[in-house]
Amino acid sequence: MSFDLQALINSRNGENVALQRENINPQFARVLRLIGFDKVYVRGLGQYLYDEEDSEYLDMLGGYAVHNVGRNHPVVIRALKDLMDSQPATLVQMDAPLLSGLLAERLKELTPQTLDTVYFTNSGTEGVETAIKFARKKTRRPRVLFCDHSFHGLSNGSLSLNTDESYRTGFDPLLPGCEKVALNDTAAAAAELEREDVAAFVLEPVQGKGVFIARDEYLREVRELCSRHGTVLVFDEVQTGFGRTGRMFAMEHSGVEPDILVLSKALSAGLVPVGAVLTTRSIYDGVFDSLDNCVVHSSTFGQGAYAMAAGLATLHVFEEEGIVENSRRMGALLLDGLKELAGRFELISEVRGRGLMIGIELGKPSSLKLKMGWKLANKLQKGLVAQAMVMSLLADHRILAQVAGHGLEVIKLIPPLVIDESDVGRFLGAFEEVLERSHRFPGPIWEFTTRLAKHTIRR
Ligand SMILES: Cc1ncc(COP(=O)(O)O)c(C=O)c1O
């Protein structure tokens, strides 16, 4: 009998959360239920998702920034289908695959000349692990610096560069020699780098958790310090890469060129796991330093043909469809609209971002009534007000968004970069309505926060 995937999906659709609870992650299933995110999406196209009734949802979460060119882009789908039909000789392992060579060549064209060698990975965290290993081998130094609020992935090495205790607790001991410094504090970085025992300084030009922006001047100073003291400068552009910040890569805002650039997420249009680490020939040769060591760092699926084909097709879409320019224009429009709302609604303390990577920070209101609600919610748990607003966006407006990290009162927007003026208008209108309701105390948003807190405490 043939395997009928569609029949299987049709017969089991709707069991999604139950299957998750029974077989995968019961706590996650519980969270989805609790916050009303237990929807069943059956289709995705561009910046939209569709449920079983074919209702349309605007996706402002973008699969955590993988769907930059939009979901199921026809050009990328076509390339994958073509490859499949050609019965490719994939994962031979003892060969030099054409497609990985071509994708490496293309990535080099898009990045600074000094980054002339590419290592392919399957994920962001694998890229960061690669960067740590490469830097240590090159410098033979033990320490790695990272910034407050950073997120670089959850495997052991990357987790060691993470400041969020909720991720770290219970997984000790993490990698020794990893040291946190405050973002945008040149003196703090200098104090560590001057010891000349730091292999790598790893940072995100715009941080995913909280959307905190590294100042251009800070990055330039850090570049100079790393060069002076022999430290490998690593930019983690897993999230900021591929048009997210209104430039192809966020490093272009400052003009700073790192020694290692870590990429992943959007490179394959959200269709196949992929990642790439670009570095200098001298760092690469320091790792793969003999015939014996020619695969001293590698992974089985690293140059998989489907990932490579998706990458080539995705970069073609970037070139053809003005994706980066759209990110810049829509980002500016969204940011302007949000700033206007911030002027009218006291719960917004700051709006910040670059391109279509935007954080809306909530803060203590000044009016007496709202202050009471805010104090109460924050006493129960920080981040609940933002979470309640995100819930309302989905429940009342069919807009998918997210809170920017544990314990942060920041709503984060990282939609597919193909959103248009009407999507921006739709989001701003919906958010204005959510804000209006949040500025009424008592009111549904504040009731949400209490209910959420009760469930979390009961856990
Ligand atoms: C900046 C950054 N680095 C690394 C990672 C880890 O990537 P992955 O989840 O593919 O391991 C992420 C994921 O969100 C990220 O945002």
Render pLDDT for 99-150 as a digit per residue (tens, 0 to 9): 999 999 999 999 999 999 999 999 999 999 999 999 999 999 999 999 999 9
Angle at 178 between CA 174 and CA 182, to 5 degrees: 125
Contact 324, 247 (CB under 8 A): yes
CA distances to 124, 333, 377, 425 from 242, in Å: 14, 20, 37, 24
Task: Please work out whether the CB of residue 373 comes within 6 Å of at least one atom of ligand 1.
Answer: no
pLDDT at 1 over 80: no
pLDDT at 447 over 90: no
Per-residue tokens: 252: 């272009």
What CA–CA distance (Å, rounded) separates 35 from 322?
A: 36
Side by side, the strands of the sheet bearing 232-236 are 117-121, 275-279, 260-263, 232-236, 198-203, 143-147, 178-181
Contact 338, 358 (CB under 8 A): yes
74-321: same fold as 35-65+323-458? no
Take atom 7 of ligand 1 and give the residue whose Cα is closest. 124
Torsion angle (degrees, nearest 10) of CA 226, 227, 232, 238: 80
Give 35-65+323-458's CATH code, choosing from 3.40.50.720, 3.40.50.10440, 3.90.1150.10, 3.40.1350.10.
3.90.1150.10
Give me the DSSP letters along 391-404: HHHHHHH-EE-EES
Contact 277, 134 (CB under 8 A): yes
Looking at 235-249, 362-376, 392-406, which range is the least confident one?
362-376
Task: Please work out whether the CB of residue 167 comes within 6 Å of at least one atom of ligand 1.
Answer: no
pLDDT band at 455 (very low <50, low <70, confident <90, very high): confident
CATH assignment of 74-321?
3.40.640.10
Mean pLDDT of the chain: 96
Q: Print the SS3 string covering 43-58.
A: EEEECEEEECCCCEEE
Q: Which of 357, 280, 306 is nearest to 111 (CA)?
A: 280
Looking at 29-33, 185-189, 403-407, 447-451, which range is the least confident one?
447-451
Task: Please work out whether the CB of residue 151 comes within 6 Å of at least one atom of ligand 1.
Answer: yes
CA of 149 relative to ligand 1 center, distance in Å? 13
- Full-prediction pTM beyond 0.95? yes
Mean pLDDT computed over 248-266: 98
Q: Which of 172, 112, 156 is nearest to 144 (CA)?
A: 156
CA distances to 46, 179, 212, 232, 454 from 270, in Å: 11, 33, 25, 30, 36
Task: Give pLDDT, residue 454.
Answer: 77
Give me the DSSP letters along 165-183: HHHHTTS-S--TTEEEE-T
Secondary structure tally for the chain: helices H, strands E: 19, 15
Take atom 16 of ligand 1 and give the residue whose Cα is closest. 239
Q: Which residue has the higher pLDDT, 311 or 447?
A: 311
Beta-carbon contacts of residue 439 (< 8 Å; ≥ 6 apart) = 345, 346, 347, 365, 370
What CA–CA distance (Å, rounded) separates 90 from 99?
A: 10
Per-residue tokens: 88: 């490719």
CA of 11 relative to ligand 1 center, distance in Å? 34
Phi and psi torsions of 14, nearest 5°: 100, -20
pLDDT band at 445 (very low <50, low <70, confident <90, very high): confident
Task: Please work out whether the CB of residue 125 comes within 6 Å of at least one atom of ligand 1.
Answer: yes
CA of 261 relative to ligand 1 center, distance in Å? 13
What CA–CA distance (Å, rounded) separates 337 from 272?
A: 34
Task: Give pLDDT, residue 456.
Answer: 67
The 3-state DSSP class for residue 139 equals helix
CA of 227 relative to ligand 1 center, distance in Å? 26
- Cite the DSSP H helix spans in 177-299: 186-193, 216-229, 251-254, 281-287
Percent of all residues in the chain with a pLDDT value above 90, rounded to a whole number: 92
Mean pLDDT computed over 191-198: 98
All structural domains of the chain with their residue ranges: 35-65+323-458, 74-321
pLDDT at 457 over 70: no
Task: Please work out whether the CB of residue 238 comes within 6 Å of at least one atom of ligand 1.
Answer: yes
What CA–CA distance (Å, rounded) separates 297 from 253?
A: 32
- Cite the DSSP H helix spans in 258-383: 281-287, 305-321, 323-344, 368-380
Greatest distance between any 2 Cα atoms in the chain: 71
Contact 276, 124 (CB under 8 A): no
Mean pLDDT computed over 194-198: 98
What CA–CA distance (Å, rounded) separates 312 from 337?
A: 35
What CA–CA distance (Å, rounded) separates 305 from 316?
A: 16
Task: Give pLDDT, residue 446.
Answer: 86
Task: Please work out whether the CB of residue 37 comes within 6 Å of at least one atom of ligand 1.
Answer: no
**Chain centroid to CA 430:** 24
Task: Give pLDDT, residue 125.
Answer: 98
- How big, in percent rounded to 5, are the helix, strand and coil portions of the chain? 45, 15, 40
CA of 38 relative to ligand 1 center, distance in Å? 24
